[in-house]
Chain A
Amino acid sequence: MPGHRTKGFCASAAALALCAMLAGCSGSGESVGGGKVVLRYTWWGNPDRAERTEQAVALFEKQHPNIEVQTSFSAYDAYKQKLATQAAGGDAPDVMQLDYRQIDQYASGGVLLDLGKQKAVLRTGEIDAGLLATGKLDGTQYAIPQGRGTETVVYDVKAWKATGVPLPGGSWTWSEWADTMRALAEETGKPGATDPGWSEDSFEVWLRGQGKSLYTEDGGLGFTADDLTRWWTFTDRLRREGVVSPAEQTTQLDGSVENTPLGRGEAMTDANWDAPASGYLALIPSGVALAPMPSGEDGTPGQYFKPSMFLGIGANTAHAKEAARLVDFLVNDPQAANVLGATRGIPVNGSIREEIEPRLKDFDKTIGDYQASLDGTLNDPPQAPPAGDNALQTTFQRDYDQVSYERMSPREAAENYVTEAKAELRS
């Protein structure tokens, strides 16, 4: 017990000390630390993206000696939670990377700064108007799209070639995909792919291939329990056959490439967004290639070009102008674009894209070529998902856990999900 008391005392003493410090700081203005403006910039991603981001930030600091940028990053799941907590506490970072799914909630919750007021510093003229509009809510520009991304089937080229199964072509339907994965599994004795049943993103591609969508225009659920039952029956059957990853591996997925069956050397392919796929190179040095996502049985494409991520500025920032400068630099500066390449998707700035596309190297070129091959073949992106979607992504994975561990039938789990989703979207 005395231990507890000491701890409590230390905590309160530390809190007091902190209060004193904060009071001291706020009196003098927090920007004074060494005469520099300090900006906090946070993002999610992989080590490859981190390295390039650090280089770009260093360039920015060189150009603006009076600004110091403190960066931090983590995997998507952890980032999402941390940012929500910070934002709620009124402590959102000055510059933050945002996902399409976060825009609605963050903008309507007053976390994001109106970027229209920073026009003098933050140029948007060369960004494709349609893409730029995805960062708007009720006519106000809250976030700037940073890149264009689309989903892909990433595969281990060398290992695939060794199996003798023909490499994927320019398009395939879901049943052709399943047959190919089955052939791979037979050749190698390992699953061909990550079980796509866990992923709301993959489900969306499948759904759109049938002309449906995740959400209706007024933010309701765009599909029925029957649709989801059919999807999960399809994936569950493949799992039982050993064609896709077993439950033990699927349950570990958290958005990082390291925890995917492909990243762990347990499968030949993985469905992912194209930009983070660069992270696989560190795990599979012999190289990975990109194939399109499977389409509907009549050839309707389900995947789409999506603003891969956004940059937003905290509404409470003390340095709106400097923060806007950093955003402008990351989106519009040719030098930054050179360093960043396609690590956040193909750049959205038209002239930069034209300038760097021919010069893209290595995996950036793979992504560029992949996107070029799809240009003009895909349908329009859906509107930004409603706020509740953020929680539903996790719910989707949990409910599928019940299927893959054979604790619920696909129908039971699907009905569960639809009930939960409706409650989430209503509130």
Chain B
Amino acid sequence: MTTTTIPGRAKPATAATPKRRPRRERQGAAWVFLSPWVLGAVVLTLLPMAVSLYLSFTDYDLFNPPRWVGLRNYVQMFTEDPRYWRSVVTTLTYVVIAVPLQLALALVVAIALKSMRRGKAFYRSAFYAPSLLGASMSIALVWRAVFNDGGTVDNLFGTGGWVNQPGWALLAVALLTVWQFGAPMVIFLAGLQQIPGELYEAAAVDGAGRWRQFLSVTVPMLSPVLFFNLVLQTIQAFQVFTPAFALSAGKGGPADSTLVYTLYLYDRGFVASHMGYASAMAWVLLIVIGAVTAVLFRTSRSWVFYASEGDR
């Protein structure tokens, strides 16, 4: 897709160079072209966010006008709601399981694909396909059927159906995410192809084996890409919803074992009609994700290596 758009984009620029229009006029055109996006951002993002912030300080049941309650929702969340904390623990557990597993798998497959000579394009697409399909409800429902009691996995291994067992259900949710490792894999693949071959040759001359080469060449050279993937996947993992919703039929069960944060948020908002409380939960999530991302950036200074740093 990018390859086709680049020449298209370049054309107007070259056509415009000989006779430049006045700056004001060009800006006007820019705003016209930008307007759908700006309108979209304001109407579909900023406005709802402002409303949600307001609602988080109210008691709002969808039917009656919102009633201002100050910080009560936040206080209730942190001090009176055990189910809230259960959802926090469930989400953290999920993040800790799903993100490393997914990135590790993506990296392993990317390395395997890089050294492949034939059929690379085919396998790359094949591994990427789940990422395209995975976010959809239908795949999650298939997953539910596979891991249900009497489902495929149960029939093969006699598991009794993971989605019906509190100890296993969250793993089934995580596996659905891990299975969609295509997006980080493609990014890893691009990163791997940027690493100059000479580095490996030099390492080999110095007597480094495969594993040593991986640790001393691949990992540091790939660290910016690794960091990018880590941040992106962590943010996404905190917001996991679809797989947990579909696998538990919207209930976060069995016994609250897949009640991830966003699912509990949904439950408070749309099942129990406590929109104010749900809004407050959403804002806490936003702040937490922001904080986690900031921490990741802070730690990145000690392990992410940028090639350009050497020049400075």
Q: In the complex, how many angstroms separate the beta carbon of B127 from the nearest chain A beta carbon?
A: 17
**Contact flag A248-B62 (CB < 8 Å), given A77-B250, A401-B254, A402-B256:** no
Contact between chains at A407 and B255 (CB < 8 Å): yes
B78 within 8 A of A: no
A26 within 8 A of B: no
Residue of A84, A109, A251, A387 with highest tally of chain B CB at under 10 A: A251
Query: What residues of B have a CB within 8 angstroms of the CB of A8 in the complex?
Result: 37, 40
A167 within 8 A of B: no
Contact between chains at B254 and A247 (CB < 8 Å): yes
Q: In the complex, how many angstroms separate the beta carbon of A235 from the nearest chain B beta carbon?
A: 16
Residue of B39, B59, B252, B255 with highest tally of chain A CB at under 10 A: B255
A398 within 8 A of B: yes
Which of chain B's residues has its CB closest to A110's CB? B63
Contact between chains at A88 and B62 (CB < 8 Å): yes
Band of interface residues on B: 35 or more
A81 within 8 A of B: yes
A248 and B166 alpha carbons, distance in the complex (Å): 9
Instruction: Give residues 219-273 of B contacting A (CB, 8 Å).
Output: 249-256, 267, 270-273
Instruction: Give residues 56-95 of A contacting B (CB, 8 Å).
Output: 77-78, 80-81, 84-85, 87-88
Among A12, A405, A423, which residue has its beta carbon within 8 angstroms of that of B166?
A405
Contact between chains at A9 and B1 (CB < 8 Å): no
Instruction: Give residues 382-427 of A contacting B (CB, 8 Å).
Output: 387, 390-391, 394, 397-398, 401-402, 404-405, 407, 416, 423-424, 427
Contact between chains at A424 and B272 (CB < 8 Å): yes
Contact between chains at A105 and B271 (CB < 8 Å): no
**Contact flag A251-B254 (CB < 8 Å), given A16-B36, A84-B273, A391-B272:** yes
Instruction: Fill in one digit per residue for B1-23: 1 if any A CB lies within 8 Å of its CB, else 0.
Output: 11000000000000000000000
Among B166, B255, B271, which residue has its beta carbon within 8 angstroms of that of A81?
B271
A423 and B161 alpha carbons, distance in the complex (Å): 35
Contact between chains at A398 and B272 (CB < 8 Å): no
A3 and B187 alpha carbons, distance in the complex (Å): 14
Query: What residues of A have a CB within 8 angstroms of the CB of B251 in the complex?
Result: 251, 394, 397-398
Number of A residues with CB within 8 Å of any CB on chain B: 44
A424 and B83 alpha carbons, distance in the complex (Å): 14
A378 within 8 A of B: no
Which of chain A's residues has its CB closest to B40's CB? A12
Query: What residues of B have a CB within 8 angstroms of the CB of A398 in the complex?
Result: 251-253, 255-256
Query: What residues of B have a CB within 8 angstroms of the CB of A351 in the complex?
Result: none
Which of chain B's residues has its CB closest to A85's CB? B270
Query: What residues of B have a CB within 8 angstroms of the CB of A84 in the complex?
Result: 62, 270, 273
Contact between chains at B254 and A405 (CB < 8 Å): yes
Instruction: Fill in one digit per residue for A120-131: 1 if any B CB lies within 8 Å of its CB, else 0.
Output: 000000000000
Contact between chains at B40 and A11 (CB < 8 Å): yes
A16 and B273 alpha carbons, distance in the complex (Å): 29
Query: What residues of A have a CB within 8 angstroms of the CB of B253 in the complex?
Result: 251, 398, 401
Which of chain B's residues has its CB closest to A391's CB? B272
A15 and B80 alpha carbons, distance in the complex (Å): 40
A397 and B2 alpha carbons, distance in the complex (Å): 50
Which of chain B's residues has its CB closest to A416's CB? B82
Contact between chains at B270 and A9 (CB < 8 Å): no
Contact between chains at B63 and A105 (CB < 8 Å): yes
Which of chain B's residues has its CB closest to A16's CB? B36
A407 and B37 alpha carbons, distance in the complex (Å): 50
B164 within 8 A of A: yes
Among A3, A15, A88, A391, which residue has its beta carbon within 8 angstroms of that of B63?
A88
Contact between chains at A391 and B2 (CB < 8 Å): no
**Contact flag A15-B40 (CB < 8 Å), given A105-B63, A111-B63, A251-B254:** yes
A16 and B255 alpha carbons, distance in the complex (Å): 43
Contact between chains at B62 and A109 (CB < 8 Å): yes
Residue of B43, B161, B273 with highest tally of chain A CB at under 10 A: B273
Query: What residues of A have a CB within 8 angstroms of the CB of B254 in the complex?
Result: 247-248, 251, 401, 405
Query: What residues of B have a CB within 8 angstroms of the CB of A416 in the complex?
Result: 82
Contact between chains at A254 and B249 (CB < 8 Å): yes
Among B64, B252, B255, B271, which residue has its beta carbon within 8 angstroms of that of A405?
B255
Q: In the complex, how many angstroms separate the beta carbon of B273 from the nearest chain A beta carbon?
A: 6
Residue positions of B touching A, CB distance < 8 A: 1-2, 36-37, 39-41, 43-44, 59, 61-64, 80, 82, 149, 160-161, 164-166, 249-256, 267, 270-275
Q: A9-B36, A248-B149, A248-B165 are in contact. List 20 more A-B contacts (CB 8 A).
A: A2-B2, A12-B37, A15-B40, A16-B40, A77-B249, A81-B270, A85-B270, A111-B63, A247-B164, A248-B160, A248-B161, A251-B254, A252-B249, A390-B273, A391-B271, A391-B273, A398-B252, A401-B256, A402-B255, A416-B82
Q: List 24 A-B contacts (CB under 8 A).
A: A3-B1, A12-B36, A15-B39, A16-B40, A85-B62, A85-B270, A87-B63, A108-B63, A109-B62, A109-B63, A110-B63, A111-B63, A247-B254, A248-B254, A390-B272, A391-B271, A391-B272, A394-B251, A394-B272, A397-B251, A398-B253, A401-B256, A402-B256, A407-B255
